Amino acid sequence: MFSRRAKSLAAKDDGVTVIEFALLAFPFFALIGAILETGLFLLGSQVFDSAVDDAARTIMIGAAEKYEPTDFRNKICEHTYGLIDCPEIRLRTRPIAKFSAAVTTSPVDKDGKWVIVEQFDAGSPSEVILVEAYYKWNTFFGFDYGFAKTGGTVVISAARVFMNEPYK
């Protein structure tokens, strides 16, 4: 009797699809989430980098000579399409002696707190300028992209080194 019942249960395949879905659903949706988050992160990084590049041009041609840090931040934000929370951008723009003197340091400490001292100096005509911009990108699933990871955020950065035009 027991063997007949066991054979009867083994022959039934009701619910197999539900069990297979339950086994495969989590890895499938985790993979889809990773793909979406990585794509959004890469899009945000590229948009941020491009926006800093466009804003840095205003320094290069002398249009940012009387800018304050908030003016330059707003110039960056004009090209971020709402992907970046603009007040959270940290900036450091300063003249340097020569191109080879362009050195950046981490904008956050080991605990993820900002240590960057904001500065905005557009320099003079024909002076070499280093522009650094940083932003903490919020992650949804907590993936580590190989950058400075700080508790649910990833620091993205953009830097430009250029010589100002002789605009005067």
* Cα distance between residue 117 and residue 124, in whole Å: 21
In a domain, 168, yes or no: no
* Cα distance between residue 107 and residue 160, in whole Å: 16
**DSSP category for residue 137:** E
In a domain, 89, yes or no: yes
pLDDT number for residue 102: 95
In a domain, 69, yes or no: yes
Pairing of strands 90-96, 128-138: antiparallel
- Number of domains the chain is built from: 1
pLDDT number for residue 131: 98
128 vs 111 pLDDT, higher one: 128
pLDDT number for residue 43: 95
Write down the pTM of the prediction: 0.83
Share of the chain above pLDDT 90, in %: 65
Cα 131 versus chain centre, distance:
17
112 dihedral zone (left: phi>0; alpha: psi -120 to 50; beta) = left
In a domain, 29, yes or no: yes
pLDDT number for residue 151: 66
Range of the domain at 107: 2-163
Q: What is the rounded average pLDDT for all residues in the chain?
A: 89
In a domain, 31, yes or no: yes
Share of the chain above pLDDT 70, in %: 88
Identify the top-confidence range among 100-109, 126-135, 140-149: 126-135
